[in-house]
């Protein structure tokens, strides 16, 4: 079952204030309150928030070893892969979340941040700002367009 969410019914400032850590709010709000944010804007902001982009960020790379089967790489790309799995597939990983199709935007952000944080053994709060960007991008593009644009080749 697909999720039934629409972008124009979302109170973006409320979502940001309720789920995004204080230290990430300004960066997330700068993108999402723009009248014409693009996927490139979301990607750049998400990568900065997670320390994937070589600039001042909220996370300092420490060189900590990754868990079994994980390759060193882009944390934001991993988060987007989780979003694709949640929104665009019928995988068993998110079967219970998809069951009734009535998750709130805040719940979806928490689900993505928790899944990504669990993969890298860090707090979900680290991923919350970037997860907010991804969920809002899905809503802005529309579920079908997002899934088509991000389908594996």
Residue 17 confidence (pLDDT): 92
Domain limits of the chain? 7-57+73-149
Separation CA 69–CA 98 (nearest Å): 26
Question: What is the average per-residue pLDDT within 5-23?
Answer: 81
If 0-12 CB within 10 Å is exposed, 13-18 middle and 19+ buried, where does residue 62 land? Answer: exposed
Higher-confidence position of 22 and 56: 22
Q: What is the reported pLDDT for 135?
A: 93
pLDDT in tens, 53-107: 765 545 555 444 455 555 556 888 889 999 999 999 988 988 888 776 667 888 8
User: Which pLDDT score is estimated for 64?
Assistant: 44
pLDDT at 57: 47
What is the secondary structure of 7-20 as a DSSP string? GGG--HHHHHHHHS
Burial call 23-55: b when 16+ CB within 10 Å, e when fewer: ebbebbbebbeeeebeeebbbbbbbbbbbbbee
pLDDT tier for residue 148 given thresholds of 50, 70 and 90:
very high
Looking at residue 5, its pLDDT comes to 65
How far is 17 from 120, CA to CA, in rounded Å?
25
């Amino acid at each position: 079952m697909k999720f039934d969410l629409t972008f124009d019914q979302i109170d973006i400032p409320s979502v940001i204030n309720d789920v995004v850590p204080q230290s990430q709010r300004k960066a997330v709000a700068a993108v999402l309150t723009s009248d014409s944010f693009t996927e490139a804007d979301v990607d750049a902001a998400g990568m900065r928030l997670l320390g994937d982009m070589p600039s001042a960020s909220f996370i300092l790379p420490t060189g900590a070893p990754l868990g079994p089967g994980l390759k060193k790489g882009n944390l934001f790309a991993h988060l987007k892969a989780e979003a694709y799995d949640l929104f665009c597939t019928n995988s068993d990983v998110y079967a219970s979340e998809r069951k009734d199709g009535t998750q709130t935007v805040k719940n979806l952000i928490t689900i993505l941040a928790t899944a990504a944080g669990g993969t890298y053994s860090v707090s979900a709060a680290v991923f919350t700002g970037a997860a907010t960007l991804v969920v809002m991008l899905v809503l802005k593009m529309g579920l079908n367009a997002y899934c088509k644009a991000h389908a594996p080749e």
